[in-house]
Chains A and B, each alone.
Chain A
Amino acid sequence: MIELVKVKKVFNAGNPSEFSALNSINLLIEENQVTVLKGPSGSGKTTLLSIVGCMSRPTAGRVKLQGREITSLPERFLTDIRRKTFGFIFQQPNLIKGISVLDNVMLPAYPLGEKRLHLKTKAMKGLAELNIANKAASKVEWLSGGEAQRASIVRALINDPHIIIADEPTAHLDTKLSYRFMEIIEKFKAEGKTVIITSHDPLVYESSMVDRVVKLRDGQIEGEQA
């Protein structure tokens, strides 16, 4: 369970360009559910997601993960939580060019010191589950959009996170690939994972597997969509 208490995020505080991205957000995200944060551009979806995923800190307020307050944690502890608890899927696949798909997928696991052989087996299993095992040795430049997206999903899962965070995952996918992506999300849910997605794509927030849609506007929760 993730709990946000009076979370506020201000950029460029004290400057003429000061911008308040989130204003006193209170939100409870249940485990093993697919939650979609829906809202127009600039509504604070990505900022909220980055705070939940320990990628940035709020200006005020607290975030609790499984009852444990995490916003006050020193950076080294936060890094550990980020690595082990969250898997990130971004708008763009953000794969590193020049190295193979397999190396890209294994990269987030290197700091944890897992044995390479074991890691490779795990990565290959993940690639096989998403039908891109045959591309493991290929360089990422050679992948199609859908393959790159799937490779980034396998990368997000390499440390077996409990929570998957996806920021506008279908923004660069066509309809067929978007449906394929939602099938993958359904599989995560079946495995007991918690999924948080930001999106303003109806294909995502109107999907039957989504448990909850939280509407954001101007940095505030506007309400929930049934």
Chain B
Amino acid sequence: MILHPTVIANLLAVYISSGMVLYAVYYGVQIVRHWDIQSGHELQLVLERKTYLISTLLSYVFGLQLLSLFLFIFTADSLTPLFVGAMCAAGTLNVDAFGYPTLVLKIFNFILAGLWLVLNYADNQGYDYPLIKKKYLLLAFIAPFIILEAILESAYFLGMEADVITSCCGSLFSSERKTGIGSEIASMPALTMMWVFYGAMLCTLASGIFFYLKGLGGYLYAALSLLTFIVSLVSIVSFISLYIYELPTHHCPFCIIMEEYHYLGYLLYILLFGAVVSGIGVAALIPFRQVESLQFMLSGFLRKLAMTSVILYAAFTAFVTYEIVSSSLVIAYEVVY
């Protein structure tokens, strides 16, 4: 293990999250099994009081979960000088077998945590806890992933050895290497990906605005939102990074979080992750539009969620477009370097 402050912070965050989630799941199971709002039984009243504590606690835990993704990336980036060959977070994540799986799981958990927060917010707006069982069932689904994340992250940080020779991002995200998902994405034709990115984004924004105005097509927007999220991540590796670095061969999705690039990556990823969570959140809440206690607020909240997602995607696209337009790099014809 490397005793670096950020490593300790990461491990503390993940252990606190896991502990709190386990505590919440214990009561969540009781709520799912015994909840009966019609009953005046002592247990029901205890559960009603407990749910305040649990949902408040989980709001902070999942808030921490959202932040921990960026803390994890920041940590990977800040540990770079300790590993031979590492030039950015890409190399640090590659020092053992647990780095990238942890990152993928953290992204997955980010989305799940975001969805739980959306569900919890909606539930808190109703006077009769309309989504209480649903949100604790979702918690029971999320909990194993949070625990798995804690295990993987522990294995990653605790197994870290200094002076390990690792690969640099130029190697991991190289269009010449042709093996590994990073290189495969980097090998995608940049101009084609650019068309796909702008096409997907246009459809998503149009669908989101349509939902905001008419209240129709919520599921379509959520699906497009998820699709655009994936397309955007691929696009960052495929062509957006090229314009930011102004290098036709540098596809790294991590160097953009460095000081040399004004930490632009953090901004892009925050916009992107915020957009997908609020976008998918629309689909998560649509089935509950007919719930009596949510009828008046939910359609307004869904519209706000969709608009938030649209604004975040639009901001992401605007920043990306600005980088492309202001970049010295010109990809005039299709060449795979």
Question: Which A residues fall within an 8 A CB radius of B?
Answer: 5-6, 8, 57-62, 71-77
A57 CA / B45 CA spacing, docked (Å): 9
With a cutoff of 8 Å between Cβ atoms, the chain B residues found around residue A57 in the complex are 45, 48-49
**Sample of 10 A–B contacts (CB below 8 Å):** A6-B40, A8-B42, A57-B45, A57-B48, A58-B40, A72-B45, A72-B128, A74-B127, A75-B52, A76-B124
Residue of A nearest to B46 (CB): A59
In the assembled complex, the CB of A62 is this many whole angstroms from the nearest CB of chain B, namely 4
A71 CA / B129 CA spacing, docked (Å): 13
* A77 close to B40 (CB less than 8 A): no
Is there a chain A Cβ closer than 8 Å to B262's Cβ? no
Is there a chain A Cβ closer than 8 Å to B286's Cβ? no
With contacts A6-B40, A72-B128 known, what are 5 further pairs, Cβ within 8 A? Answer: A5-B40, A58-B45, A60-B41, A62-B40, A73-B127
In the assembled complex, the CB of B135 is this many whole angstroms from the nearest CB of chain A, namely 14
Q: Which of B42, B44, B127 contacts A77 (CB 8 A)?
A: B127
* A59 close to B52 (CB less than 8 A): no
A76 CA / B127 CA spacing, docked (Å): 9
With a cutoff of 8 Å between Cβ atoms, the chain B residues found around residue A60 in the complex are 40-42, 45
With a cutoff of 8 Å between Cβ atoms, the chain A residues found around residue B42 in the complex are 8, 59-60
A72 CA / B127 CA spacing, docked (Å): 8
With a cutoff of 8 Å between Cβ atoms, the chain B residues found around residue A75 in the complex are 52
A57 CA / B128 CA spacing, docked (Å): 16
Q: What 3 pairs across the A-B complex have the smallest Cβ distances?
A: A62-B40, A60-B42, A61-B40
In the assembled complex, the CB of B7 is this many whole angstroms from the nearest CB of chain A, namely 39
Given contacts A5-B40, A61-B40, A62-B40, contact A71 B127 (CB under 8 A): no
With a cutoff of 8 Å between Cβ atoms, the chain A residues found around residue B41 in the complex are 60
Given contacts A71-B40, A74-B124, A75-B52, contact A59 B45 (CB under 8 A): yes
**Count, chain B residues at interface, CB 8 A:** 13
A194 CA / B215 CA spacing, docked (Å): 44
* A71 close to B124 (CB less than 8 A): no
A76 CA / B129 CA spacing, docked (Å): 12
**B41-85 residues at the A interface, CB under 8 angstroms:** 41-42, 44-45, 48-49, 52
In the assembled complex, the CB of A20 is this many whole angstroms from the nearest CB of chain B, namely 12
Residue of B nearest to A78 (CB): B127
With a cutoff of 8 Å between Cβ atoms, the chain A residues found around residue B127 in the complex are 73-74, 77
With a cutoff of 8 Å between Cβ atoms, the chain A residues found around residue B45 in the complex are 57-60, 71-72
With a cutoff of 8 Å between Cβ atoms, the chain B residues found around residue A61 in the complex are 40
Interface centre among B49, B52, B127 (most CB of A within 10 A): B127
* Proximity string of chain B (99-117) to chain A, C-beta cutoff 8 Å, 1 when within and 0 when not: 0000000000000000000
* B129 close to A74 (CB less than 8 A): yes
With a cutoff of 8 Å between Cβ atoms, the chain A residues found around residue B40 in the complex are 5-6, 58, 60-62, 71
Is there a chain A Cβ closer than 8 Å to B37's Cβ? yes
With a cutoff of 8 Å between Cβ atoms, the chain A residues found around residue B49 in the complex are 57
Residue of B nearest to A73 (CB): B127
Residue of B nearest to A77 (CB): B127
A58 CA / B42 CA spacing, docked (Å): 9
* Proximity string of chain B (304-337) to chain A, C-beta cutoff 8 Å, 1 when within and 0 when not: 0000000000000000000000000000000000
With a cutoff of 8 Å between Cβ atoms, the chain A residues found around residue B124 in the complex are 74, 76
* A72 close to B37 (CB less than 8 A): yes
* Proximity string of chain B (15-45) to chain A, C-beta cutoff 8 Å, 1 when within and 0 when not: 0000000000000000000000100111011
A73 CA / B127 CA spacing, docked (Å): 6
In the assembled complex, the CB of B40 is this many whole angstroms from the nearest CB of chain A, namely 4
Interface centre among A58, A71, A73, A74 (most CB of B within 10 A): A74
A6 CA / B128 CA spacing, docked (Å): 20
A60 CA / B48 CA spacing, docked (Å): 11
* B52 close to A72 (CB less than 8 A): no
A38 CA / B44 CA spacing, docked (Å): 30
